[in-house]
Amino acid sequence: MILDSLMPESISPETIIRIGGVALLVAIVFAETGLFFGFFLPGDSLLFTAGLFCQTDFISLSPGVLILLLIVAATLGTATGYFFGRWTGDFFSQRKENFFYRKRYVDLTQEFFQKYGMMAFVFGRFIPVVRTFLPILAGIAKINVKRFWLYNLLGATLWVSSVVMAGYWLSQLFPSLTDYLGLVAIIMIIISTVPLILSVFNKKEAVAREDSK
């Protein structure tokens, strides 16, 4: 499969759903949206593939029920990251870099939050790394809890609903799409990482402009 060349088969969206079903799907969405070591897990591509598999032998649930479960998982995952941040304080500023943590992830997320404010919890849902680290940094900054819950739920609802339904609708229009899951996952990975690449590129341009002054 084409996807196998980009990520280990054990964490490809198709393998996750075929082996673990809804339970593993919910667990990974929870981890990817709030646990700092979950940033490398498939997010958008997993939700999209879940939409493709909806009402099949692998996911027998209706789109509405599946979306509700995933919204709860994404909301609680982000809340876990937020309260982890409040509890640990400056945990990341003193942590050594490793595979699961890079300072540039935190810097990028901080800049994203400074640019969009609380709406970062909505826009940031669609950007890998940002959706993982943003709630943790919001907790460290002790963002108002009521406002956090509001934007957390709003972001989770828009992200899960739009991506899952996109997969579901396409599966209804093109039933044979599930035969090309590797290619579909690659396209979803590319689409979801474009905003991240643009953010890094814009940051480098801004630094270059400052250095040239």
Domain ranges of the chain: 2-207
- Write down the pTM of the prediction: 0.78
User: What are the DSSP calls for 37-100, one per residue?
Assistant: GGTTS--HHHHHHHHHHBTSSSB-S-HHHHHHHHHHHHHHHHHHHHHHHHHHSSTGGGPPPBTT
Higher pLDDT, 137 or 78: 78
For residue 160, pLDDT over 60 is answered with yes
Pull the structure tokens for residue 210: 């400052």
pLDDT band at 5 (very low <50, low <70, confident <90, very high): very low
Residue 77 pLDDT grade (very low, low, confident, very high; cuts 50, 70, 90): very high
CA–CA separation, 22 and 8 (whole Å): 20
- Give the CA-trace dihedral at 176, 127, 32, 117, to 10 degrees: -140
CA distance 23 to 26: 5
Q: What is the pLDDT of residue 1?
A: 33
- List 59's β-bridge partners, or say none: 54
Average pLDDT over every residue of 102-107: 70
pLDDT digit string (tens) for 63-74? 999 999 999 999
Q: Which pair of structure tokens corresponds to residue 187?
A: 């396209």
Contact 196, 130 (CB under 8 A): yes
Radius of gyration of the chain (CA): 17
